Structure 1
Amino acid sequence: MGNQTLTTIAASGTVAINTTTADSTAVLPRPVRRVLQNFLLVWLDANIDESNENFKKPLQCLRRIVATITTFTDVDECIDFLSGIQNEKVFMIVSGVLGRQIIPDIEACAQLESIYVFCDNQSIHEQWTKTVPKVKGVYTQIEPICEALRIDRENCDRAMISISFNGIDALFMYTQLLKETLLDIEDDDAKSIREFVDYCRLQGDIDENHIDKFEREYRLHTPIWWYTGPYFIYSMLNRALRLMDVDIILKMGFFIRHLHQHIETLHREQQSTNTMTSTLFQVFRGQGLSIENFEKMKRTKGGLMSFNNFLSTSCNRNVSLEVFARPAAFAGPYSVGILFVMTINATSCKKSSIAFVDVNKHGYYKDQEEEILFSTHTIFRIDRMEQINDYHTDRLWEVNLTLTVYDNMGEYSKALSCYERSLEIRKMALPSNHPDLAASYNNIGMVLDNMGEYSKALTWYGRALEVQKATLSPNHPDLATSYENIGVVLDNMGQYVEALSSYKRALEIRKIGRPSNHPDLADSYNNIGLVYNNMGEYLKALSSYQRSLDIRKVALPPNHPDLATSYNNIGVVFKNMGEYDKALSLYEQSLEIRKVALPSNHLDFAQSYNNIGSIYKCMDEYLKALSYYEKDLEVSQKALAKNHPDLGKSYNNIGEVYDKMGEYSKALSYYERALEVWKIALPPTHPHITVVNGNIENIKKRL
């Protein structure tokens, strides 16, 4: 082997490792490995010379895309370097002559993402590169390489976002705790920024001009501006969270906290002015996914996955598919192109403190992108996976996700443990009336509410309310949410007068802060109608439900699930008034909307099946009633904890049908199962327990 030359060129224009010339027996120094970004650029050309004008312009162009360019003049040295790369993706520029020599040896390398052949004779080299999928093109000018590299760099960062799967990845729960911990740390921002800047300068693989700009102008721009801009922040944070690089994560803790707080603030502002934030809508994300993660996703179908970073999504399905997902399907045998279709229920986000924001007016590229940005570590349920028909590849898939919280799939004990550990951390770090403690109290209350442990849930919701009263203005929307949460629990406990008072307080606050047709007002009227119905005041219930429906018809799309809820609830009132035909028509209308808008295992289907079954029971069509009640039970058993009070309702209803049909042994069995659940889930004076005890007493007399 002859003389070998290796150079690492830093973005500032200085040479990080001086040109080294050695004979074949010499040990050459290795280039400094980058540690802060997901990718690196390698340029292999026997004639590279930075002082040569033919290379100066290309290098200047490339430095606008990547911070550090590692150059080689020797094939073997380049192969040795590539073989040592484990955690980054490599983009490679290669001359035509050396490309023909090296590509057969490196094209199977999993870390090699893209190859750009840079030569004088395009037609000659296009012939042999046609059979190499990783070769993105043959170029005679540097400008189109820079544009292709810019797109590939964005796709690389997008594909390398950290994802974890519940039940498979041990990090799933711990990344949730990490999020809570980082957001609770309160430190000296000026000191943190200074230490972060000093750290970046020491690494030598970030554009010095970008570091200077960040230090000088950090407070002049918003965190979202920095995150979406063409700087090092996005890639550096992405990589740190992907590799769980705690050192870098802690150094960027101030930025993670600032970005999260900025998203939360804008979310509240947009929520108060834009009715879209209270509706069900879809966003999209196209990206590549490794074969390993794709297999994990298939095994987790029906379960939960977490994006362990701030999540960028688009309102434009076609852009997500054609610009990001489809190209990823052709990136090589180790990649699958994924179009994520994400269903978002903004009302659930509001109740569970999940923040997202339309960054069109706030990002670096203002008015150019239809982007929705979610705060860090957002959790989704994997609903459906379908292959997208494409004549050229079988590695293009559509994956339907539903935004959720950690407790939605029956993971109650794990969720409770996670929230309790988060609370312990916050109590050590925060004063006793800090608003973040209210968020922890609310999260614990929400899990207990979903578990049917209403008394405990009421205690935690009450603690959250007390903190909010001490720290927020009297008409703050978070207070309305707390009053609403307390009302739901009181209603479930049969304390209807207290529930009505709590719901009305939430409505009073919302009337002050919301426009008259805002969906939040519809929620309040709906809840008030629910209590009136439970109290037997059907005309008042009907009036409140109708006001809720009128607002939703104006504010929501025609197949929105909240409209299904309104039709269902009005049907309940008509059923209680004995107008069964009207009730059945409304129930069926509600069910049709849910079939369009919701995944097949959604708990709202249990409600529809239960209510239709109840009408058929009232109309003495017992076989039809039994069929619908069994559908209700099937959905409920999959979605609810085993002692949830709604399961008691399902058992009791089936028992009543068997009772009506004269099958008393079966009826008794279901009544007893209902009683068993309700004794655990409800207070002993609850009306449901009185009813089922009466049913059991009556059935035993017939046996």
Structure 2
Amino acid sequence: MANAGSSIDNDKDSDINNQGSTAECSSSFVLVWLYSFGTLDKLQLDHFRHMDVIKSVKPFTESVVCISHLSTLQNERVILILSTKLAKEIISIVHGITNIFYIYLFSNDSELDLQWMNDFSKVHGSYCDVETLKSKLLSDTSELDVRKDKTTLFNNESYFIPVNYNDDFIAFQTFVEILLSPGLKIDQNVEKGIEIYREIYEGNGRELLKIDIFASDYQPEEAVNWYTRDCFFPRVLNKSFRCFELKLLLGLKCYIIDLNTQLEHLYLEQKEEHYQRHMTYYAGMPLPKNEIEYLKKNVGCLTMIKTFLEATKDHAVACMFSGEGAQIPQFASVLFEIRIDQNFYPVRPFASVRHLSPFPDEDGVIFGFGFIFRIESVEMITDSMWLVILTATNEAQHVAKELINQFKTNLNKPINHITFGNLLNKLNKPKETINYYEGLLNIITPSSKDMVEIYSNLGTAHYLQMEYQLALVYLNKAFDTLKHVENTLGILKSDSENETQSNQSILLQSQSNSVATLQSEIYYNLGIVYHSLSQYDLALQYYKQLLHLIAEKEISLVNLAVIYNSIGSLYLKTGAYDLASEYFHKALDFALIKSPSNDPCTLQCLANVNSLTKLNDEMNDIASTADQLRTLSTHNDSKDSASS
């Protein structure tokens, strides 16, 4: 492995952030040069001070002072030149600083063994003369200027998810089940993942060369070996998990399956060693300070690490990769101590990968993505390093499983790779729904019936984002596709009329019921979109068609209270208060029969009835006052007439 714990630290993915990470790449850089005493003179520095792309040069001879200064440059773009004699001692620390774009090694000794630098993607070569280095620097910075901005692929990054009844945990765990399900068969294999890697690293010659080798040589049984390298493979994979980039994760599905499967096989081979005794592992990494705050606030609670996690049996190795207190902007050094209970049987696999790693001396272990731990303690052990103790127990996994099962019992339809978008919409994650289906349609060719579900869910997602015209586009696509499916089913049912109660006719009836349910969802969604657009006649038309369909097809999964409530709301907005009252009361009556009294739908129905009653009372009061004023006015007019 490239480093212990690097799968969730900044080292392995920092260059993803820098793939064209600034549109104003022609702006200048700060050049920081760490050199051995006596190996650099003013003339050499002046070569760089006079370059247009360099706005200042900061030379240092002490590593600690250099690292400290780098921490003050978090708002600058930085180029780092290191003396080869000093590079090894700090490269693993500085490589993870996100605003360092390029690192160059400089030495007068061309015979030095610099094979190790290939493990660090930001290192762009070793140079013995200033002119060659200057030429390379100019080439790299101009290359950066034409790269596409890839940072928009990754947003809202987080390392952990609390294990409780929250939307993020439910969405992530459900997606994991879908991703690993044999039911999700993809049309393309490794080619899709290779396209993703090449797109992200467009313009990065070093990584593209590695991707070419990967495309030529990759085999499923080499997934662990590739993961332990410091390269594109683990960086994009873990970054995608942290940011919950569903489109990318679906495109990388084959590699995730390969890596997970290999870890499962390794775990079974090593099971006796893990099962018979308590085990302790360590992972060191610079961790964002906001994530440390999360861990501190959740001591005693369960947490899930979203990515694959690299660890080691060697405490000293983990300490080294924690950064050992180096001042990195917005990060702090963290040492994780991971304790595994005796007789622990994991849901996600973990295994020693020492014999498969290019770094066997690090005694590496990989934990599968989505591993669940209990946070035992979080404390500062030095002025600049935190110790976080995590435990993995059977009890913790049982709690997580029960949470998911509890959630599934409340769903009115099974969740699979087609209907997952419906769940995301219910969790109010419309952006994720759109991202998910973009990825899904890249790797499978759904049936027409499945496309109805996909179009409908995309329409709902755009509605939730208040993109009403786009919502109508997708809902109308769903409606048109549904008509085609209905016609096909009608022909098939006609052909099987003479086979009453045959397996085929039973299956067709089931499919017909499913189509009717989909149609009811489309009618309702079209109704609420037109409702939001204040096109009340069209909205009412779809609501009424929906009620007719429910009665005709005897659809039982629909919550009539929601529909009656929507119709009542529509009548309220158009001033038809009697009709609004009628439908609000219908909604409340249905909700009280079908739902608990504290159900959100029931409470909403009750609130609407009460609000309308109050409104009617206020309107009656106004009408009564108006009548009194009219009577008084008439009386006064009569008096005036009599006096005249």
Bin for the TM-score computed over the shorter chain: 0.3 to 0.5
Higher relative contact order (CA 8 A, sep 6+): 2
Q: TM-score, normalised by structure 2?
A: 0.43
